[in-house]
Amino acid sequence: MSAANEAPPRRGFAERVADAAGMLVFLFYFLTGQVLVRVLFRVRVEGRCRLRRDEPAIVVANHASYLDPLFLQIVVPRRILFLMTDVFYRIPWARWFFRLVGALPVAELGRSGNVATIRESARLLALGRTLGIFPEGGLSPDGALQRGRSGVARLMLQTGVRVLPVGIVGSFEAMSRPRPRLRLFRPVTIRVGEPIAPPARGKSGEGNRADAAALTDEIMASIARLTGFERPAPIAASRA
């Protein structure tokens, strides 16, 4: 059964309290904070979120700036729980905030330890939540679109949820890893694409890896079309 059809797991009291606090942060940003972000960065939105009401989903986008989560939340009128690198998640003075907004830590590329995060992601999708994942696996060093990783596709195949692709243009110029200084009033365009549905789940093994590779390429091709950036080279099924 997919995450959309399974009975949602029960949540404990502590989780419900933390979730309520995180929802207050989201409402404050969505109702007031995003207005400031739109003005400071001359944000233009093209397209709209076409997810069904209460539909669990994964929102994906290119990742060139620390500001990208703020821009993504503008175009999705629901709380997004973002996956983020554990390097930033472990920062002592900021960890409380990341926990408050429901961020999930992900080990950097080349390191193990993401099994628990994948399991928690699937659980949250079964609860009807919306996850935000940057399939490139980290910030682009030059603003160009990087090759996608197969984690999003594997999660889609496991849970049966759809992905909403988004292209963000201009965020690299506003603030990036090579140039971490904030540059206000730089134009940022956010383009929302059509949701992508996973294929019927195949068998485990080579077939599943091939499905994940093909789905990853489809996701990255959609982001490339939305941004106008060059499409990264397709991944090989053997490396998915």
CA distance linking residue 68 with residue 171, whole number of Å: 7
What pLDDT is attached to residue 65?
Answer: 95
Over the chain (240 residues), what is each successive 10-residue block's mean pLDDT? 56 70 84 90 95 94 95 94 82 78 74 74 94 93 93 93 98 90 94 93 60 93 96 63
CA distance linking residue 82 with residue 130, whole number of Å: 9
Computed over its alpha carbons, how large is the radius of gyration of the chain?
17
What pLDDT is attached to residue 17?
Answer: 72
Residue among 161, 157, 21, 33 at smallest CA distance from 97: 21
How many angstroms separate the Cα of 117 from the Cα of each of 25, 124, 151? Answer: 22, 10, 11
How many angstroms separate the Cα of 9 from the Cα of each of 14, 41, 190? Answer: 15, 40, 34
Q: What is the DSSP letter of 6?
A: S
What pLDDT is attached to residue 238?
Answer: 42
What pLDDT is attached to residue 240?
Answer: 41
- Domain 13-239 grouped into CATH 1.10.405: no
CA distance linking residue 163 with residue 156, whole number of Å: 8
CA distance linking residue 80 with residue 133, whole number of Å: 10
What pLDDT is attached to residue 236?
Answer: 55
Angle at 112 between CA 110 and CA 117, to 5 degrees: 120
What pLDDT is attached to residue 18?
Answer: 73
What is 128-158 written as a DSSP string?
T-EEEE-TTSS--SSSSPPPPPTHHHHHHHH
CA distance linking residue 8 with residue 12, whole number of Å: 13
Where do the structural domains in the chain lie, given as residue ranges? 13-239
What pLDDT is attached to residue 71?
Answer: 95
